[in-house]
Structures are given as C-alpha cells and as structure tokens.
Amino acid sequence: MPLRTRLAYAAPGFAFALIGVPVYIHLPKLYGDVLGVDLALIGLIILLSRLWDALTDPAIGYLSDHTRTRLGRRRPFLLAGAPVLAGGAVLLLAPPASLDASATTWWFGLLLLAVFLAWTVVQIPHAALGAELAPGHHERTALFALRDGLWILGTLAAAMAPSAARAVLGVPAGGSSERQVFGALAWVYGPVLLLLPWWCALGVREPVVPTASPDTPHGATVEAWGNRPFRIVLTAYGIGALGSALPATLVLFYVEHVLRVPHLADAFLGLYFLVGFLCLPGWTAVSRRIGKKRAWLAAMLVSVGAFSGAAFLGRGDTWAFAAICLVSGIGFGAGLVLPSSLVADVIDYDEWRSGRRREGLYYGLWSIVTKVSAALGASVALPLLKWAGYQPQGAQPETVVLTLKLLYAAVPCVCYLAAFGVAARFPIDERAHRAVREAIARRAQGLPAEDPLMRGR
C-alpha cells in the first residue's frame, strides 16, 4: 500500500480526536462550571446520546455494507457526514452568550445528538474501510497503528489546545474566559473536521467487494453476536473501555481537587498522550513477536500497575502522578490499536461463516460498546461527584476527594483485571487467521472447508 494511501486513510483519526477530547474532558467543566448546567444533567445527556448511538451505529454500518455507488461503499458517507460534523462541533464548542442555563442545557443536548450522529456517519465507514484495505494479519495492525497514532496526536493537540489558546488570547485559566477560549478553538477544529475526512474519501480507492446475497439488519446482528471470537473481544474491550472512561472524565477534577495543581492538568494529559504515541511502533513490533492478544494482555497489566498508584496520592504529589501518567501512557496506545486489529480478524472469520464482508456492521457494533462505555464513565462519575458534595469552583469536602480517588484509580483497575480474564480466551492468533484465510479461499473455489478454528481440537 503506498504511503500516500496509508496517510490519506489514517488522517481522519487526527480529526476524530479533536471532538472526542472536548466532549469527555473539557466540555463537562465548561458547561458545568462556567455555563451553569447541572453536572448530573450533563452526565445524563452524554449517556442518552450514546444510547442513541446504539441504534445509529449498527444501522449506519449495515447501510454502508449494502451501499453500491461509483465511489464505493464507504467514501460517500465520509463526504456527506464531514460537513455536518464540522458545523455541529463549532456550535457545540461556541454556544451563544445570550442563552440562559436552561437553554444552554437544551443547546448542549441537541447539538451533542447531532454531532454524534454525524460522527457515526463518518467514523463507522472509515473504520470498515481500514479492514478492507489491509487484509494481512500484521499489515492491518500497522495500518491501524498509523491511524491511531494520528488519533493520539490529535488527542494530544486537543488536550494542549486550551492552554495554547489561553496564551494566545492572554486570558487566565478558569472562569468566564473559558467561553472565549473554546469559542476560538471551535474555528480551528471545524475546518480540520471537514477537510481530513474529505482527504480520505478522495485519496483512497476502495477494494472491489463481490456482491453477496441480501440479509436483514436483525439477522446480520444475530449472526454477528453468534460469532464467538467477536463476543469475547467485544466484551473484554467494553469492560476495559469503561475502565479507561472513568479517568478520562475525571482527570481534570482529580488534578484540581486531589493533587491541587490545576495549572498542570494539560501537561499531565500531554505527557500521557505523547508517551502513548511514541510507544505505538514498539507495541506493533511486540505484537508481531508474541501475537496481538498477548500484547494486548500485557498492555492491560501495565495499565493496572500504573493506575493503582493514583489511589494513594494527595496534595502536591506532582512527580509521582507524572510517573503514573508516563507508565499508563505506555499501555494506552496498545489498547487502541490491537483490539481494532483483532476485530478485523474476526470479520474474516465471519466471512467464512456467512460468505459476506460486513465490516460496517461489525465496527458499528464495536462502536456502540466504545461509546456506551465512555458515556457510562461520565453518567456514573459526574452524578456520584455531585452526590458526594461537589461544589463548582470551590473547595471540596473530603468525601469528594475520596470519591475521586476511588473512581479515578481503584474502579479502573478492577475493570482492567476483569477485561484481562475475558480477553485471555480469544482464540484467533496468526496461525488461526492464516487458516481462516485459507478456508475462505477454498470455499471461493467451490471446495469443502472445515471450521478453521476447530482444527487440531
């Protein structure tokens, strides 16, 4: 695959991060502390928007699987969805100053639904396209590493952008100036969210996929859930994603109210994402040597070892938390790339079972778990903070500090350990994947082919 094709495919990963980071990290504090929206309502809105995705994600995936146009199955969705995604993001980050708290709540809720729908229209076909472009067992890991590496760079940029905007605008952190900061960022993020998906759509040619017999959305979903390797990787990833979502939602609260160094929050985030990006080539090499599953399991143990220490920190433990960010960042990139690559292998097994290429459906179902886990992190953590006695822009009682430690560190470690136990049962390694591809080739030639995962049992 030429480098220009790989870069064109991977580029939207950078754009997706620019909206993902604000929604889960920055916007809860902006809309809660500055704009007066109730924290519990923010958590509920995020959860409802993700439940809405539970309908739209597999629907868009199924629709893209069955779309036939001159441009292919996936690229028309990128071209149509990018303008809506860009416009919605601008409006979400820059709400009108004339709105009162009630109107701002509606603004946040309705725009979040629109942005997430547009995100689905672009992101699901984009993920499906990657599995089609790279059929090789390790080739797809390398392609996804490039895509997710750019996603991490976008995350790093989005994490550091508020500080950079404050420096350019000459305004302090916190308070009403945050409206000005995110209003300025909106007009930077918008063009990127438009142009990078369009670059992918215009710069990548889709592989030709043979036409298969039609299926129904319900039947296809039932068949996907009947795919045992998919159930395993989906369950493990969902549990681990919930563990990741809690720290992502609470990191700004943790740094401000546990460590008491809010001015260092962006630096901690930058360190975490930068280390994750730098370690991606290493994890790609490790997965080639020991296998994707074992590398993913190792990354989970790294995350447990890192996050467990955060439960014991307190005011002024700056260097200790920096070390935790560094170690946890090592496992971060692997948790993005390797599960996605395993899903692509699962889709090949589905092709042997069904005779169809259904990347859109599988990544649609995968996306539901990703988004619902992230939404559960916000919808559970933010109300618990409020019930523990959280006070916007003020000193917090000890119950809030203890709640932050438990939710930020202890609960994620339990999630990672549970995910480890489930993922250890995943049955497709490089040898099994090669057998899957051989069985697909035999079937295409009209020859009998036994279940490739049952060989040797």
Report the chain's mean pLDDT, rounded to a whole number: 86
pLDDT of residue 436 exceeding 80, the answer is yes
Q: Which residue has the higher pLDDT, 139 or 396?
A: 139
**Average confidence (pLDDT) over 135-153:** 86
The answer on pLDDT for 316 being more than 90 is no
pLDDT for 210 equals 65
- DSSP at 407: I
Q: What is the DSSP string of 111-177?
A: HHHHHHHHHHHHHHHHHHHHHHH--STTHHHHHHHHHHHHHHHHHHHHHHHHHHHHHHHT--SSTTH
Alpha-carbon distances, residue 74 vs 177, 288, 332, 416, 421 (angstroms): 41, 29, 28, 33, 35
Token couple for 138:
């390790």
pLDDT surpassing 60 at residue 317: yes
The residue ranking higher by pLDDT, 207 or 211, is: 207
Instruction: Report how far Cα 377 is from the mean position of its chain's Cα atoms.
Output: 13
Largest Cα–Cα separation, the chain: 71
In single-letter form, the type of residue at position 26 comes to H
Residue 233: the pLDDT is: 93
Q: How far apart, in Å, are the Cα atoms of 13 and each of 9, 79, 86, 123, 433?
A: 9, 15, 14, 9, 26
Which tokens hold the place of 106?
């509606």
Work out the pLDDT band at 29, boundaries 50, 70, 90.
confident
Dist. CA 155–CA 108, nearest whole Å: 22
pLDDT at 455: 59
213 pLDDT band (50/70/90 cuts)? low
How far, CA to CA in Å, does 289 sit from each of 282, 293, 294, 336, 338? 11, 11, 10, 18, 13
Phi, psi of 402 (to 5 degrees): -65, -40
Give pTM, 2 decimals: 0.79
DSSP 8-state secondary structure symbol assigned to residue 54: H
The 3-state secondary structure of 228-290 reads HHHHHHHHHHHHHHHHHHHHHHHHHHHHHHHHCCHHHHHHHHHHHHHHHHHHHHHHHHHHHHH
% of the chain with per-residue pLDDT over 70: 97
Do residues 449 and 344 make contact, with C-beta atoms less than 8 angstroms apart?
no
Which residue is listed with tokens 């071209």? 79
Which 8-state DSSP code applies to residue 414? H
The arithmetic mean of pLDDT across residues 418-446, rounded, is 88
Tell me which residue has tokens 């930058």: 270
How many CA within 13 A on the CB side of residue 290? 11
Note whether 362 and 350 are within 8 A (CB). Answer: yes
d(CA 265, CA 22) in angstroms, rounded, equals: 14
Q: Give the tokens for residue 381.
A: 């953590």
- Measured between its terminal Cα atoms, the distance across the chain in Å is 36
> What does the pLDDT look like over 388-404, one tens digit per residue?
888 776 677 888 888 88
Residue 214: its pLDDT value, please?
A: 64
Residue among 157, 188, 175, 198 nearest 89 (CA)? 188
Mean pLDDT of the 220-232 span? 89
Summarize the confidence of residues 227-243 as an average pLDDT. 91
Instruction: Quick: pLDDT tens for 152-185.
Output: 889 888 878 888 888 888 888 767 788 888 889 9
What pLDDT does 172 receive?
80
Q: Is residue 420's pLDDT more than 90?
A: yes
Record the tokens describing residue 442, joined without a space. Answer: 């035999």
